[in-house]
Structure 1
Amino acid sequence: MPGDSTSAARRTTIRVVVVGDRATGKSSLIASAAAERFPVEVQPVLPPTRLPADFYPDNVPLTLVDTSSSLENRGKLAEELKRADAVVLTYACDQPTTLKRLSTFWLHELRRLEIKAPVIVVGCKLDKRDEQYRMSLEQVMAPIMQQFREIETCIECSAANLVQVPEVFYYAQKAVLHPTAPLFDLETQTLKPRCVRALKRIFVLCDQDMDDALNDEELNAFQVKCFNAPLQPAEIVEVKRVVQEKLADGVNDLGLTLTGFLFLHALFIEKGRLETTWTVLRKFGYDDEIKLADLYLSIPFKKTLDQNMELTSEAMEFLKGVFSTYDADKDGVLRCSELDDLFSTAPESPWEEAPYKDAVDRTPMGGLSLSGFLCEWELMTLLDPTQSFANLIYIGYNCDAPSAFHVTRRRSVNRKKQKTERNVYQCFVFGPKSAGKSTLLKSFLGRPFSENYSPTSSDWYVVNVVNQPAGTRKTLVLHEIPEDEAKTLLSDKKSLAACDVAVFVYDSSDEYSLERSSELLKDVARQGEESGFGVPCLFIAAKDDLDSYSNGIKDSAKICHDMGIDAPVHVSVKERDINNVFQRIVNVAEHPQLNVPETEVGRNEKLYRRLVNRSLMFVSVGAAVAVVGLAAYRTYAAKKNTSS
């Protein structure tokens, strides 16, 4: 499957910075490449030199930047290196000390400056090397390349004799447009996992008849898509022969298998044909990090801060079908191995890290039920719709974003209409340390009570389905806010825009815990009044199995009454008496006009606005009466004048 390289990287230019010890031939190398002849005289440091787009097949122009290695220019050198797309690091073939300086100074300096650009090591002045001490380039560079993996390739050249001068900057350009590092592990000589996953997805997309092999017709369609040229029958036979000679299971009676497909790409890379694999990846939408490029993940929706994305019924049905397909033993649970297989065409499994890793109920072996599987997707759609869409595409969803998502109505509109049509609610869980927040979240996932206390140090999300009495299914996301982070969160005036309901958990046996929760409730109320993103709130009296402190029930009821919200919900996770608390949270979220707390300042402002509006109404009515009276008088006067 050979083919021409592609400019799908969409670069407008590549900046190559040439560095190395003094008198190693940096300026002569640049001048010879640009003029295609050896300069008689060359200034110490050349200005930036441009190689035009048609200089190399990839049709991307290069800007070659010469540098000085003097101490007084180290600051400028560092600036240039940080702007580099590729670095050409030179030594002089006739000066062994400059070769030694690569590993004793220059490569360490690039690491110190955290330069991530690929490095091309170039031995200049090849024509001046003493043949008596000649060693192969491989012998010289193998130990250095073993230590410094950032070296992409090594080459020797002679600017004076124009030997391999153009090749130096061709390799530099190639290292940028077709880098080795994302595709291939040089140490193990194998394709990297993300590359394997991307190529597997491409294979699956090309396997139109889904028989786990690419037949001749499918191979030809793949070749045309990627390289704009069909394969001749003899070429297809040759491709299969090469694979089968090296890998017995690379080809079967139906065609080229996934194993053979991956082998071919590893073979191309080993032979230096990285542009072939990169062309394939870019034709299927992958960027330099082997993820789908942003262009392919565009979600053409505009939403305000108080709107969410939710999965459509079409997307949910697709996900149910995917679950069924990968549930090989049909036990209603995706085991870890089945989940890995499901996401084997994605860059990585998206639920291995926070906030998704510990967000749903799992089996003791880490498996996921259908409900937990769908909940993970709903959480990802709520928090990061672009990532959700990307992963839908990775696992085979073949439709556009509008078929996968819909935008919910604004929360402010829901309050005015006094109802909401959302299927997913996000609840912020506030409360002081040791109040019982984490225990409440764990109980939502059906986990047993534990006496062991470990404070939550960062935001934690859990998500589950809440079945309402009317038989409707709602998904509730509980977002625990550690006490230490509440102030930071509320300092952002827009932070409550994403919240459907806030709950305040306190230890019902601890007076301080109630006071602290009351303060947090007031903070949320004030922030809601100032920002316009007021949210319904609910007080939760946790640890109800413990004796309440004197006046505890009375004090908490008064706080709720004064703030205009429902009386506290008493729960005891230890005694398994949760008092339908999660249904109650959903009920509060479903009536966004109720249970919105008010501070005294907020009530006074609302009263003032009502009085002003009422006064304006009276003034308007009085003015209207006056206008009508004046009009009637004018009509009477006109009639009187006419009759006289």
Structure 2
Amino acid sequence: MVRANATTLRGRTGVRIVVAGDKGTGKSSLITTAAYDIFPVNVAPVLPPTALPVDQYPDRVPVTIIDTTSRVEERYKVAEELKKAETVVLTYACDRPETLDSLSTYWLPHLRDLEVKVPVIVVGCKLDLRDDNHQVSLEQVMSPIMQQFREIETCIECSASKLIQVAEVFYYAQKAVLHPTAPLFDQESQTLKPRCVRALKRIFILCDHDRDGALSDDELNDFQVKCFNAPLQPSEIVGVKKVVQEKLSEGVNERGLTLTGFLFLHALFIEKGRLETTWTVLRKFGYSDDIKFAEELLPPLKCEPDQSVELTTEAIDFLKTIFDAFDGDRDGMLRPREIEELFSTAPESPWIGNPYEDAAERNAFGGLSLDAFLSEWALMTLLNPAFSVENLIYIGYPSDPSSAIRVTRKRRSDRKKQQSERNVFQCFVFGPRQTGKSSLLNSFIGRPYSEAYNPTDEDRYAVNVVEFSRENKKYLVLREIPEGGVKRLLANKESLASCDIAVFLHDRSDESSWKASSELLVEIAGHGENTGYEVPCLIVAAKDDLDSFTLAIQDSTRVSQDMGVEAPIPISVKLGDFNSLFRRIVTAAEHPHLSIPETEAGKTRKQYHRLINRSLMFVSVGAAVAVVGVAAFRVYAARKNASG
């Protein structure tokens, strides 16, 4: 960790640097001198895009410098260039204090107005022309401005005519793009940012081969070779540990460099401007500029709309091991602090906020059982497979990432084969307002019944294990579709492709509730018939604890018979009487050919296709008879000619 070679920069094809500033501050002269290593006697008012030699800087990444006009009437052109910049060089003239003032009164606020969120390098040009009687330090001049404008990465003074620090200007500008400070370090608190700490912690754990909480001399050397392709000399290892121990006693112990010391070293490198060291380490372990895994390191996923993605047995076994490892008090639950520790090597905990935070069964302290823990992973893999795999890697999944997931068979194929092989089923829950959709989801994840009505405006998920036997467990995902969200859902032709089964709730004590629910059933069934994504359906008569509306019961029974689905299933969430609903949902999803409703339009369409097929069959048989007749005639004619 004492020397770094050139960083590997995935996908980086070049750096675009835009130079701006007041008129006469030396922009064009600075660019020309940097490109050709000679001060121009005459220079054009605005230069064309200028490329620096690829081998000019260690990273060997092409640099293109864009000059800008100083004409006030053409500032719209400057604005367009600034918006395309990857880093901005703002110039002022050392012999003209008013151009320095212009940075804080115009240029830096202007960048904010344009929402240009890139590193800024402030450059004082014409250093050789500064009045010797008014010498002030650059730090003294720039410190107040840098406090106000945190986007300033570096300040430097130069002289193009004397060839002083010209190359350094664009080295810092390129470095600000290739090795940015912002993702790694908080300038105000002077500490590593949380995501950087989490990534470095994961790297430390990966390099701590004997899992003793410290990097031994051999482990430090292996780390150095992996990241920088060069070993550390024994004296260098001693030097590294000495630097840490002098500043931070807990940074080194008898076993080697601790995590605290490892993090301290990186903070020290960054404070000293050696960001390329930390970036080299991060990129060597697969991190991109936002300190997340680079996309190309994740397995590619090809998935049809009516396919889903599930974790493999290998991934589930790994998660069970992880659960046991982080269940510190051995109570069979992961408490919130244990979950946070488990994900402390991921950029953030993935289950904060919707849809995961409220989706699984938690105890009074917010803890997750093993079933609930695996249920959260099943939901995450269903909704965002790449994100799930990414987090598996963050927490230490040791095998090839592609071995963690499998793509299921198409749902159309499941219907033809009359059997689903899925382990995770997604159930869309439909129904008008106040039928108990949210209460059903809450009860599924172990929450007590509440009389309070809290309308749901956005889709919500609940996931849990449905157990048929000790060996036969399935994960059921309930997705609540608010009544107002149905139109939005069906605007997408493939919206039902991801649905294994749909449930339609109605309040059996309310006639209008059944009417609205039955209309939803017809609408969803019709959409499935029209798009080819037919969905098995169940009708659920909720609030069985209330007095039933007789006509609604009779009509719902008739509709279920007419549409070819199971009779309405009565339940009472309030009484905890679910009539084996969740098992019946999974069973219907496992045999998707049995519960697909038919609308009148669908029946008519089928009858029409049967008639067409019969007609075609009649035509085909007639044509076949005609062909046989022609063949027989030809045989007869041939025999006749032969006998003649």
On whether the aligned pair clears a TM of 0.5, the verdict is yes
- CA deviations on 1:99-123 (whole Å, 9 max, x unpaired) are 2222222111111111111111111
Task: Name 1:46's counterpart in structure 2.
Answer: 47
Partners of 2:151 and 2:237 lie apart in 1 by 36
Q: Which residue matches 1:501?
A: 501
Q: How many residues align?
A: 643
What's the counterpart of residue 599 of structure 1?
599
Q: Which amino acid aligns with 1:119?
A: V
Find the counterpart in structure 2 of residue 553 from structure 1: 553
The answer to whether the aligner puts 1:398 opposite 2:398 as a matched pair is yes
Say yes or no: does 1:324 pair with 2:324: yes
Q: What is the SS of the residue equivalent to 1:475?
A: strand
For 1:306-385, what aligned pairs fall within 5 Å after superposition? 306-385=306-385
Please give the secondary structure, in 1, of the residue aligned with 2:65.
Answer: strand
Matched to 2:364, the amino acid is P
CA contact (8 A) 2:511 2:551 kept: no
Q: Is 2:423 the partner of 1:420?
A: no
- Checking the alignment, whether the CA contact within 8 Å between 1:431 and 1:505 is kept in structure 2 is yes
Give the structure 1 partner of residue 11 of structure 2: 10
Distance in 2, Cα, partners of 1:422 & 1:545 = 34
CA distance in 2, matches of 1:325, 1:428: 35
2:581 alignment counterpart: 581
Shift of 1:558: 2.5
Please, what is the CA RMSD of the aligned residues?
A: 1.7
Does 2:290 correspond to 1:277? no
| 1:314, distance to aligned residue in structure 2 (A) | 0.8
Matched, 1:222 2:223: yes
Q: Is 1:179–2:180 an aligned residue pair?
A: yes
Q: CA deviation at 1:617?
A: 2.3
Change (3 A) 1:282 1:471: closer
- Could you give the per-residue CA deviations for residues 128-167 of structure 1, whole angstroms, max 9, x where no partner exists? 2223332211111111111111111111112222211111
Per-residue CA distance 1:465-508 (angstroms, 9 max, x = gap):
11126962111001111121210110110111100011112222
Change in 2 beyond 3 A, CA 1:72/1:431 = farther
Q: Summarize deviations over 1:282-329 as a string: whole Å, max 9, x none.
A: 011100000110111123x42211111111111110110010111111
Deviating more after overlay: 169-178 vs 134-143: 134-143
Q: Could you tell me which residue of structure 2 aligns to residue 86 of structure 1? A: 87
Task: Write the letter of the residue equivalent to 1:274.
Answer: L
Deviating more after overlay: 126-135 vs 584-593: 126-135
What amino acid sits opposite 1:91 in the alignment?
A: Y
Tell whether the 8 Å contact from 2:35 to 2:53 is kept in structure 1 after alignment. no
Q: CA deviation at 1:70?
A: 3.0
> How far is 1:622 from its partner?
3.6
For residues 394 and 174 of structure 1, the distance between their equivalents in structure 2, rounded to whole angstroms, comes to: 28
Tell me if the contact between 1:537 and 1:565 (Cα under 8 Å) persists in the aligned partners: yes
Measure the CA separation in 1 of the matches of 2:100 and 2:434. Answer: 62
Aligned equivalent of 2:304:
304
Contact kept? 1:55, 1:61, Cα under 8 Å: no
Aligned residue for 2:496, secondary structure, equals helix
Secondary structure of the 1:498 match is: coil
Q: Is the 8 A contact 1:361 1:445 kept in 2?
A: yes
1:509-528 aligned at under 5 Å gives the runs 509-528=509-528
Once the two structures are superposed, the pairs formed by residues 24-103 of structure 1 within 5 Å of their partners are: 24-103=25-104
**SS at 2:287 equivalent:** coil
Cα distance in 1 for residues equivalent to 2:407 and 2:10: 33
Aligned to 1:617: 617
Aligned residues of 1:6 and 1:58 also touching (Cα < 8 A): yes
Q: Is residue 184–residue 190 contact of structure 1 (8 Å, CA) maintained in 2?
A: yes
Secondary structure of residue in 2 paired with 1:78: helix
Q: Distance in 1 between matches of 2:393 and 2:334?
A: 20
- CA distance in 1 between counterparts of 2:444 and 2:8 reads 51
Q: Hey, what does 1:124 align to over in structure 2?
A: 125
What is the one-letter code of the residue matched to 2:275? L
Say which is worse superposed, 44-53 or 167-176, in terms of deviation.
Answer: 44-53
Which residue does 1:563 correspond to in 2? 563
Q: What letter is aligned with 1:614? A: R
Tell me the distance in 2 between the aligned counterparts of 1:629 and 1:402: 61
Query: How many angstroms apart in 2 are the aligned matches of 1:72 and 1:507?
Result: 69
Whole-angstrom distance in 2 between the partners of 1:468 and 1:393: 32
**Which residue does 2:490 correspond to in 1?**
490
Instruction: Tell whether 2:112 aligns with 1:111.
Output: yes
| 1:327-357 Cα distance to aligned partner (Å, 9 max, x none) | 1111100111111111111111110121111
- Tell me which residue corresponds to 1:467: 467
Map 1:262-273 onto structure 2 (within 5 A): 262-273=263-274
Judged with a 3 Å threshold, the aligned counterparts in structure 2 of structure 1 residues 620 and 114 are, in CA distance, closer, same or farther, namely same
Rounded to whole Å, the distance in 1 between the matches of 2:189 and 2:635 is 101
Deviation at 1:630, TM superposition (A): 4.5
C-alpha distance in structure 2 between counterparts of 1:249 and 1:367, whole Å? 32
- Please list the CA deviations of residues 522-543 of structure 1 after superposition, one character each: whole Å capped at 9, or x if unmatched: 2211211111001011122222
Pair 1:6–1:471, CA change in 2 (3 A)? closer
Question: What are the superposed Cα offsets for residues 561-584 of structure 1, whole Å, 9 maximum, x if unpaired?
Answer: 333222211211112112211111
Alpha carbons 1:7, 1:59 under 8 Å: kept: no
Q: Structure 1's 612 and 10: CA in aligned 2 closer, same or farther, altered over 3 A?
A: closer
Aligned-residue offset at 1:251: 1.6
Q: TM-score, normalised by structure 2?
A: 0.97
- Structure 2: how far apart are the matches of 1:584 and 1:227? 58
| Paired letter, 2:313 | S
Match of 1:211 in 2: 212
Provide the residue aligned with 1:535 in structure 2. 535
- Aligned residue type for 2:271: E
Using the TM superposition, give the Cα deviation of residue 375 of structure 1 relative to its aligned residue in structure 2, in angstroms. Answer: 0.5
Residue aligning to 2:171: 170
Give the Cα–Cα distance (whole angstroms) in 2 for the partners of residues 229 and 10 of structure 1. Answer: 24
Give the aligned residue type for 1:33. A
Instruction: Give the Cα separation in 1 of the matches to 2:25 and 2:514.
Output: 74
Matched-pair contact (CA < 8 Å) for 1:536–1:594: yes
Query: Helix, strand or coil: the match of 1:505?
Result: strand
One-letter code aligned to 2:205 = V
Q: 1:437 aligns to what?
A: 437
Which residue is 2:244 aligned to?
243
**Structure 2 letter corresponding to 1:240:** K
**Alpha-carbon offset, residue 439 of structure 1:** 0.8
Question: Structure 1 counterpart of 2:262, which letter?
Answer: F
The residue type equivalent to 2:361 in the other structure is D
- Aligned partners of 2:92 and 2:366: how far apart in 1? 55
Quote the Cα distance in structure 1 between the aligned partners of 2:401 and 2:176. Answer: 34
Work out whether residues 8 and 283 of structure 2, in 8 Å CA contact, stay in contact via their aligned partners in 1.
no
Deviations along 1:584-629, one digit per CA (max 9) or x if unpaired, are 1112211111221222111111111112222222333343344445
- TM-score normalised by L of structure 1: 0.97
Question: How far does residue 639 in structure 1 lie from its aligned partner after superposition?
Answer: 5.3
How far is 1:641 from its partner? 5.8
Match of residue 198 from structure 1: 199
Is 399-408 or 166-175 further displaced after alignment? 399-408
After superposition, the C-alpha distances for 1:166-204 in whole angstroms (9 at most, x for unaligned) are 111110000000001111111111111111111111111
Which is worse superposed, 604-613 or 561-570? 561-570
CA distance in 1 between partners of 2:638 and 2:32 (Å): 99
| Secondary structure of 1:181 counterpart | coil
Q: Which runs of 5+ in 2 are unaligned?
A: none
Q: CA deviation at 1:258?
A: 1.2
SS at structure 2 position matched to 1:496: coil
Residue 9 of structure 1 contacts residue 288 of structure 1 at CA under 8 Å; is this kept in 2? no
2:8–2:284: 8 Å Cα contact kept in structure 1?
no
